């Protein structure tokens, strides 16, 4: 009985928040490393993004093991040697859209915003500031951002033998389709 | 004598190159060619992660898990791979199963299905990748 009450309360809570919370459970996170030696690309379509329109708070998470590389060997090295995904399975960004009151999801348009927050990866938390673009087209809301991440900032050590094959700053792309939060 | 050494070196070089070539082109691990280490309902899998995530990670991360559940929806992700979402009793979380690229499941909305995949962890959903029937 107690459980039913809790579930009912939670359901009510979510309904209340529905008006303002948006989510994508299949957000895209990509990374691209470009060097003279080789280009390395990985795609992850399993990211989660939650945006609260009332407060402007935004949270995104991605599972390290869900990054798909072109080569199985690259994926293995990435998981086992670099990000140690058994120990640190996910990367999490928590922040806010600075000028979130300028966003109007009920009106078609392109909104350029600034996002600041903290990203935790490989057990290290760092501040991140980036530009993001929200687009509303026919009621469909998308959001996209690009920023750079330095592996060394997150205590990810790259052996000297392959240092020239991996860019010092990895380009990260995030793309999400925001829908009103529901199951 | 010199000739023998030369031949040995040659064999080693060819062997090394072949190993390197094999490793470089090693196929990706999928759930298709492995037996699941555990079989459970989508609900039990999600509950395991919600109750104790580190423990569930230790037990299931990177392992092949077989799940049974009711299909909520089926869609294609940005890379064109089929993703099947399985229902749970949780107010929010689901189990998401991304099929091996180029393959499809027999999933029909509202019908029960059994799939196996590599467990990659828990965000709001438990995520299985490289899934097979």
- Write the pLDDT tens digit of every residue in B4-18: 888 888 999 998 888
Distance in Å, alpha carbon of A23 to nearest chain B alpha carbon:
11
Q: Which helix (H) or strand (E) holds A41?
A: strand A39-52
What the block records as the tokens of A17 is 């928040």
For residue A147, the enclosing domain spans 20-180
Q: How many domains does chain A have?
A: 1
Facing residue for A66 by CB, picked from B29, B72, B127: B127
Residue A4 has pLDDT above 80, yes or no: no
Residue B103 has pLDDT above 70, yes or no: yes
Collect all residues of chain B within an 8 Å Cβ-Cβ radius of residue A25: 94, 96, 123-125
Query: CB–CB of A48 and B123 under 8 A?
Result: yes
Instruction: Report yes or no: B95 and B56 within 8 Å, Cβ to Cβ.
Output: no
ipTM entry: 0.84
CATH number, domain containing residue A146? 2.40.128.110
Task: Classify A135 as helix, strand or coil.
Answer: strand
Longest dimension (CA), chain B: 76
- Write the pLDDT tens digit of every residue in A94-135: 999 998 999 999 889 999 999 999 999 999 999 999 999 999
Query: For residue B59, what is the nearest residue in chain A, using CA coordinates?
Result: A86
Residue A111 lies in a domain: yes
pLDDT score, position A3: 64
Domain ranges of chain B: 38-132
Residue A79 lies in a domain: yes
Report domain B38-132's class.
mainly beta
Instruction: Report yes or no: B62 and B93 within 8 Å, Cβ to Cβ.
Output: no
pTM for the model: 0.85
Residue A109 lies in a domain: yes
Query: CB–CB of B98 and A46 under 8 A?
Result: yes
Residue A110 lies in a domain: yes
């Amino acid at each position: 009985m107690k459980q039913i009450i809790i579930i009912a309360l939670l359901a009510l809570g979510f309904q209340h928040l529905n008006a303002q919370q948006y989510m994508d459970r299949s957000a895209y996170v990509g990374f691209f490393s470009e060097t003279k030696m080789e280009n390395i690309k990985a795609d992850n379509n399993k990211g989660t993004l939650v945006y609260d329109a009332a407060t402007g708070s935004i949270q995104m998470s991605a599972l390290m093991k869900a990054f798909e590389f072109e080569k199985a060997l690259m994926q293995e090295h990435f998981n086992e040697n670099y990000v140690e995904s058994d120990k640190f399975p996910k990367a999490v960004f928590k922040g806010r859209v600075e000028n979130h009151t300028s966003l109007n999801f009920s009106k078609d348009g392109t909104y350029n915003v600034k996002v600041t927050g903290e990203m935790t990866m490989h057990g290290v938390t760092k501040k991140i500031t980036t530009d993001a673009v929200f687009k509303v087209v026919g009621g469909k809301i998308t959001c996209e951002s690009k920023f750079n991440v330095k592996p060394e900032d997150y205590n990810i050590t790259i052996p000297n033998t392959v240092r020239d094959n991996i860019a010092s700053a990895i380009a990260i792309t995030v793309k999400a389709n925001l829908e009103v939060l529901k199951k | 004598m010199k000739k023998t050494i030369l031949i040995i070196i040659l064999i080693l070089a060819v062997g090394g190159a072949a190993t390197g070539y094999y490793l470089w082109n090693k196929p990706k691990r999928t759930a298709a060619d492995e037996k699941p280490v555990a079989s459970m309902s989508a609900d039990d899998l999600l509950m395991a992660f919600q109750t104790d995530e580190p423990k569930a990670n230790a037990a299931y991360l990177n392992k092949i898990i077989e799940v049974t559940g009711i299909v909520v929806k089926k869609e294609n992700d940005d890379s064109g791979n089929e993703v099947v979402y399985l229902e749970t009793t949780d107010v929010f979380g689901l189990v998401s199963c991304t099929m091996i690229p180029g393959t499809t499941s027999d999933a029909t909305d509202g019908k029960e299905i059994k799939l196996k995949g590599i467990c990659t962890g828990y965000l709001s959903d438990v995520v299985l990748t490289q899934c097979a029937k």
